[in-house]
Structure 1
Amino acid sequence: MDDIELRAVQDDDVETFFVHQQDPSAAAMAAMTPRDHAAFLAHWTRIRADPANVLRTVLAGGAVAGNVVSWEQSGQRLVGYWIGREHWGRGIATAALGRLLEVLPDRPVHAYVAVANAGSIRVLRKCGFHQAGPPVTADDGIAELLFTLG
């Protein structure tokens, strides 16, 4: 998709990300509890301050469509993404994750996804990830799958 771009996260983008994660349908699909505004801003302040994190705003046709991120956790390089519901079904998440993967030199790369999140599972598979084992139940009680890109 030619109209999909990634750029560094700007302060105003974080407010759009907050609105996206407040969407009940999106939160249910991701099996995540939305944070309140203060907690959300604190989270983004913390992750933006860590130089090991790779954080990008996803632009679709010049509009902020979401974010794609990568971080290290427990010795693994992980990726994640969140696209606003108004942008779903257009291949934006797949294009954005593919572009992020082009700038990440580390392999393997991993992603955890809720078992019920069929859309995100499709995105990961389209980007070359494969399921790395059976579902596991996370500390929060959510059944998740681990996907890996070698």
Structure 2
Amino acid sequence: MRLRDVEPADLEVLFVQQHDPEALRRSRFPPRERDVFMAHWTTNVLGNPTGFVQAVTVDGELAGNVLAWWDEGCRSLGYWLGRRYWGRGIGSRAVALFLEEEKARPLYADSFVGNTASVRLLEGLGFRRTDTVWYGGFEHVRLVLDEPRGGSGVGVS
């Protein structure tokens, strides 16, 4: 498993992954139509100078992505893996590697309350639950990483 920069050619695979019915059920993330997805990724993700996004690859194949961005003064983390990569520890390794480069703390993440695997992944990396938030009528667990694992308590923002 490796992380690398996202390339424009990756967007089609990421679009297909985001439309997987089981992934949508687990994430309760609203899928975007192709044109909206491509515009969002080109402008708001890849075109965001304060964002940090990495492709997750397994044996040279694109498995998903991990990203961080500023949202209303808070640094947020998100990740997405294609279904065939679930349950193999790839998400945990990818986010852990990403966190070695993404130093901003506090770092927030949220997951649909029913997506216990995602919540466990984040908690296993040192995130702690803070509260719940509602997106599109669905409850999400909000988590925060205050400092790097084994860190000094000094955050970078």
Q: TM-score range by the shorter chain?
A: over 0.9
Runs of 4 or more above 3 Å deviation: none
* CA–CA separation in structure 2 for the residues paired with 1:11 and 1:137: 32
TM-score between the two structures when normalised by the length of structure 2: 0.89
Equivalent runs, 1:47-126 vs 2, <5 Å: 47-126=45-124
CA–CA distance in 2 between the matches of 1:108 and 1:25?
A: 30
Distance 1:87 1:136 in 2: 27
Alpha-carbon distance in structure 2 between the residues aligned to 1:110 and 1:29: 19
2:126 to 118, 125, 128: 128
Give the Å deviation of 1:78. 0.5
Q: What percentage of residue pairs aligned between the two structures are identical?
A: 37
Whether 1:41 aligns to 2:34 is no
Q: 1:20 — aligned with what?
A: 17
Q: Secondary structure at the match of 1:113?
A: strand
Which sections of structure 1, spanning at least 5 residues, go unmatched?
Answer: none
Gaps of at least 5 residues in structure 2 are: 147-157
Distance in structure 2 (CA, Å) of the matches to 1:136 and 1:65: 28
Q: Does 1:148 align with 2:144?
A: yes
**Does structure 1 residue 32 correspond to structure 2 residue 29?**
yes
